[in-house]
Structure 1
Amino acid sequence: MGSLKVREKKKFPVFTLFFLILLCAAGFMFYMAFKEQVPYWISDYKSKQVQEGYTDFADSADGTLPYDFTDRKTAAKDSDKKKTSEKKSQNIPQDWNGVDWNGLKKMNPDIIGWIRIPDLAVNYAVLKGTADNYYLYHHMDGSYNILGSIFAEKGTSEDLDDAHIILYGHNMASGQMFGQLSNYTDTGFWKKHSYMYIYTPEETRTYAIYDVYNCLDNDRTYTIGFTLGSKDFRKWVKYSIKKGYYSTEFKPTGDEQIITLSTCADSGVINNRFIANCMLVDTQVKEDYVAPTPTAKQEK
C-alpha cells in the first residue's frame, strides 16, 4: 500500500489580499464621491434647462437705470447680453421682461419671481412654498434636490412688495445658488457686481447692494413685517448699515424696499450667516414698457 500524500493548502498571497482591499476601498470612495456629486450635476443641468427654456434677457427690459445714475450697471448689462445673445433661441416664448411667466407657472405654480445678478451664477426662479423649509431641499421645478432653490418665507407677498423681504439660498462650494455671495467681502468684487435684479410678471426692479456682513441666524437682520417708511423700519435700516463691513454710496433711509439675501457663512458654523442687503433703486412697470425698435440684424 502506497503512502498517502497530504496536499498543502496554497497560501493566499498577502500582497494580493492587500491589493484587493485597497481596490475595494478605492472603489467605495469613488462611489461615495460620485454619489455626492450627482445632486450638483442634476441641479446644474436642470437649472440650465429652465434658464435657457424660460428666460431670455438679451433683448428684454431688464431694469436699465437712467444713464446718468451709474456706468457700472450698463457695463454689467452689456457683458451679460454678449454672453446670452449667442446662446438663446429666438423661439423662446417670453414676456415683456424676458421671462416666460406662463411657462414657469405651468412648471411650478410656487414660482413668484426671478432673481439675477449679471455675470454671477445667481440666475434662478424665486419660490414660495407652504412650508418655509420646503425649497431648502427642492429644485425650482419642484423635484427633490439637496441644493434646493432661492426661496422666500411662506408669509411673503406673492407680488414681492413687502417692505423687507428675505431670500434664502444654499452656500454651495460649486458656486451655485448663493455660493458666490461671500465674494462681496471684497470691495473690488462689489464694485463690479453692485446690482441685483428681481423680475415679476408686472415689474422689473433694480436693487443696489448697500452692505454685507456676517451675523447669527437669530440676529435683528431677520426681522420682517415692517411698514415702508415707519419708525421701526428706519431704525432697522440704520442698524443694517452699521453692521456692514464697508461703506458704499448707497444709503437707504427706510423709504425704499429692502431685500436681504441670506446664506450660510463660509466659516461652517451652523448658525452663522452671510448677508447681502439690497435697496430698491429703480422699477420698470409692464404697462410703461415700450419694446425696443428691431435692428436690421433682428429683422433678418
Structure 2
Amino acid sequence: MAKKQERSRKKGKKKKSGLLSNLILILAVCVFVFSGYQLYQIFSEYHEGKKEYEEIRELVIQEEPKKEPEEEKEPEVQPRFTVDFATLQQMNPDTVGWIRFEEPSEISYPVVKGRDNEEYLTRTFEANDNKLGTLFVDKDNTGTFTDRNTIIYGHNMKNGTMFAQLLKYKEQDFFEKYPYFSIYTPDGKESKYQIFVAGVVEDTAVNYQFAFQSDEEFLNYIETIKGTSLYTPNVEINAASQIVTLSTCTNVADEERFVVQAVKVSEQ
C-alpha cells in the first residue's frame, strides 16, 4: 500500500513538473513571438521613413554628374546641386532649408521649423508618424539661418539615417578630411559651413545658446564651446560670424548629446 502511494506521489510530481515545463515553454514562445513582432514593427517603420526621404530627394533634388578635370593642373569641377523649394514648401509649408554633406553623404535632408520642439520628433516631413522624425530648427530661432547660432536637431537612428552619421566626427581623420557642409535656403542661396566643434556634451545650455547681448558675449561663447570639442582646428570666427549647431543623441546616456558646430564661411 505504501509503495502504491509513493508511486502515486511521484507520478503527481512528474505531472506537475511536466505542466510547469510546458507552461514555461509556452511563455517563452509567446515572448519570442511578441519580441519578433516588435522588431518587425521597428524595422518596418525605419524602412518606410527611409523610403519617404529617398523619394523626396528624387523629387526635388537635381545634381549634375561630377566632372573630372581634363588635365592634372585643372581643378576638379564640383557638381551643381539644386533644390526645388517650391515643391518642398507645397508639400510642407514649414520648410526652411536643406542640409547636405559631401561626406557623410547620407546626410542630405530637408529642414523644417515647427511650432515647438516636439512636433517633428516623431513626424516625418510628409506628416507621417515615424520615429525618424524630421530635421528641425529650434522653435526660438528665426529659421532664416541668419541668427548668430541656429540650432538644428535630428535623431541618431540605428539604421544610420537622419543625424546618426554625425558621430563619424568622433574620429579625428574624418573630422579633418570632411570639415564642410552646405545649407540651401528657399531664397536660392547656398551657405557653406566649416566645422570647428565636435564632441559629446551633457550641459546643453552651454552649446545651445543662440541669443547674445553683445559681441563680447558671443566671442566668449565661441571660446567656451571650443573647449567642448574633441579637436581644435584653426578656424577664423569673429563678432560678425554666424554659426550652426547640429545636435543628436549619443544613444549612451539620456542627458548626453553629440554636437557638431560650424561657422558660415561663404554664401552664394
State the TM bucket, normalised to the shorter chain: 0.7 to 0.9
Question: Which residue does 2:51 correspond to in 1?
Answer: 45
Which residue in the other structure is 2:82 paired with?
98
Residue 160 of structure 1 and its aligned partner are, at CA, apart by 1.9
- Aligned with 1:114 (options 64, 82, 98): 98
Which residue matches 1:57? Answer: 63
Q: How big is each residue's C-alpha offset from its partner over 1:179-201, in whole Å with a ceiling of 9 and x where there is no partner?
A: 01111111111123211110002
What stretches of structure 2 of length at least 5 have no aligned partner? 1-14, 67-74
Q: Show CA shifts across 1:6-39 (max 9, x none).
A: xxxxx9x979887766554432222111012122
Q: CA deviation at 1:143?
A: 2.0
Alignment partner of 1:238 out of 189, 207, 223: 223
Structure 2 residue 134 is the aligned partner of structure 1 residue 149: yes
The answer (yes or no) to whether the contact 1:56–1:99 under 8 Å persists in 2 is: yes
Identity %: 28
Cα distance, 1:248 vs. partner?
Answer: 1.2
Could you tell me how far 1:222 is from its partner in structure 2?
1.1
Which of 17, 28, 35 pairs up with 2:34?
28
Q: Is the 8 A contact 1:210 1:251 kept in 2?
A: no
Cα distance change of structure 1 residues 169 and 200 upon mapping to structure 2, 3 Å threshold: same
CA root-mean-square deviation: 2.5
Match of 1:65 in 2: none
Q: 1:120-199, aligned counterparts within 5 Å?
A: 120=104, 121-199=106-184
* 1:122-146 deviation per Cα after TM superposition (whole angstroms, max 9, x unaligned): 1111110111211111111222212
2:219 pairs with 1:274: no
- Superposition TM-score, scaled by structure 1 size: 0.73
| Pairs aligned (count) | 241
Deviation digits for residues 72-106 of structure 1, max 9, x if unmatched? xx6xx85xx5xxxxxxxxxxxxxx95111110001
> Which whole-Å CA distance do the structure 2 matches of 1:162 and 1:274 have between them?
21
CA contact (8 A) 1:205 1:282 kept: yes
The answer (yes or no) to whether the contact 2:137–2:143 under 8 Å persists in 1 is no
**Matched residue, 1:209:** 195
The alpha-carbon distance between structure 1 residues 17 and 153, as it changes in their structure 2 partners (threshold 3 A), is closer
Name whichever of 235-244 and 40-49 sits farther off: 235-244
Retained in 2: the 8 A contact 1:164–1:226?
no
Secondary structure (helix, strand or coil) at the match of 2:49 reads helix
1:171 aligned partner, one-letter code: N
Indicate the SS of the match to 1:136.
coil
The one of 219, 222, 232 aligned to 2:205 = 219
Greater CA deviation, 232-241 or 153-162?
153-162
